Amino acid sequence: MIVTEINRLFGLKYPIFQGGMAWISNGQLAAAVSNAGGLGVISSINEGEEALRREITTCRSLLHNPDFPFAINVMLMSPQAQAAADIAVEMQVPVVITGAGLPTPYMKKWLAAGIKVVPVVPSTGIAKMAARLGACAVIAEGGESGGHVGDLTTMVLTPQVADAVSIPVIAAGGIADGRGVAASLMLGAAGVQCGTCFLTAKECGVHANYKQKIFQAKDIDTIVTGKRLGHPVRSLKNAFSRQFADMEYNTNLSDQEIESFGAGALRRAALEGDVQNGSVMAGQCAAMLHEEKTAQQIIVDMFAQAEHVLACAGKFLTEEESHA
Ligand code: TUI
């Protein structure tokens, strides 16, 4: 078994969080991950307030044990952030994960309600601020991730964040198998968060075309667009992302025109299955995923491989000086 302070802090069998993916991470997926011993996460930017309440209720109804924890993800750039922050308190959600900013305006209320807060951080500076605000852990998310990304890679961000804060660090970005879990632990993380691999889970209701697009992806098939607008996003290359990239380089177009082109694109791919003209957000590890598995099987396989590679790691150590 791999046991870290993340297991104890959140009451988990495995130190793994599911990514809170907009339009994708619902109550059904979150419950499947939490039932498998990880932390399931519901995205709060799907279809509005009532939908969020409904997904939280669905998740609770599907949990095998009412004490199993789950989380909601609050995307702080979203106009729905305030409403989601209030719903977390109203519905006594045990954990809130924040992204795309610092959760300063909401911390007091969440902490008073006994909610554990885990911000996603793209740098050591933001990690330190999150710790000072009262976060109980941080997610160091490297730019290998899908969706809204920071600049640094998981490889360099994780150890620097681990050195910068005294709360536990969860590594995210590019982790899709047990080698990624083992490497994250070696980099100073106490757990991992995985988005793309849970996107392909049987219990994930994303459109079948979206899953197929991920299974067909090669290593170099993702692209980051949106830097010009201040919110870079990683997605799979397709007609939409190529055109978005072209528009970004076109100085005759206003930021507003580019924003309008991107509006609704994730929904188009995730719900309607238009994986050519929609945004198929996915991480660089997409090419490591080949088949649909249950959330339980994803976690069991990942941690069995992590245990194996960690148990074999001693092979790199030798008693003797081997070179002259
Ligand atoms: O939030 C994410 N990933 C996301 S959100 C999303 S929804 C979306 N839809 C359409 C267009 C754009 C996004 C898709 N993927 N990850 C968490 C994350 N947080 N990544 C980076 C950060 C972050 C960035 C800056 C966290 C804090 C931060 O603070 C800087 C500051 O100045 O506040």
| Residues carrying CATH 3.20.20.70, the chain | 5-205+291-316
Each residue of 163-200: b (16+ CB within 10 Å) or e?
ebbebbbbbbbbbbbbbbbbbbbebbbbbbbbbbbbbb
Cβ of 120 less than 6 Å from ligand 1: yes
Residue nearest to atom 31 of ligand 1 (CA): 101
Query: 177 CA to middle of ligand 1, Å?
Result: 24
d(CA 7, CA 305): 18
Q: Which of 44, 74, 117, 148 to mutate to test the pocket of ligand 1 (most atoms within 8 A of CB)?
A: 148
* Mean pLDDT within 149-174: 98
According to the model, what pLDDT value does residue 244 have?
A: 97
Residue nearest to atom 14 of ligand 1 (CA): 147
C-alpha atoms less than 13 angstroms from C-alpha of 270 in its C-beta half-sphere: 24
Query: 148 CA to middle of ligand 1, Å?
Result: 4
Q: Residue ranges of the alpha helices (H) in 16-123? A: 27-35, 49-62, 81-90, 107-112
Query: 232 CA to middle of ligand 1, Å?
Result: 9
pTM, two decimals, is 0.97
DSSP string, 260-312: HHHTTHHHHHHTT--TTTS--B--GGGGG--S---HHHHHHHHHHHHHHHHHT
Contact present, 33 and 39 (Cβ < 8 Å): yes
d(CA 120, CA 170): 9
Structural element, H or E, at residue 193: strand 191-194
* Mean pLDDT within 130-137: 98
Position 312 pLDDT exceeds 80: yes
* Mean pLDDT within 238-250: 97
Residue nearest to atom 23 of ligand 1 (CA): 100
Query: 79 CA to middle of ligand 1, Å?
Result: 13
Query: 321 CA to middle of ligand 1, Å?
Result: 47
Cβ of 267 less than 6 Å from ligand 1: no
Position 324 pLDDT exceeds 60: no
According to the model, what pLDDT value does residue 319 have?
A: 78
Per-chain mean pLDDT for the chain: 97
Beta strands in 130-188 (DSSP E): 138-141, 147-148, 169-172
| Measured CA angle at 309 (ends 304, 314), to 5 deg | 140
Tokens of 215: 């299974």
Give percent of the chain with pLDDT exceeding 90: 97
5-205+291-316 CATH choice from 3.30.750.24, 3.20.20.70, 3.40.640.10, 3.30.70.260: 3.20.20.70
Q: Which of 120, 124, 151 to mutate to test the pocket of ligand 1 (most atoms within 8 A of CB)?
A: 120
Position 322 pLDDT exceeds 70: no
| Residue 322: burial class (beta carbons within 10 Å; 0-12, 13-18, 19+) | exposed
Cβ of 22 less than 6 Å from ligand 1: yes
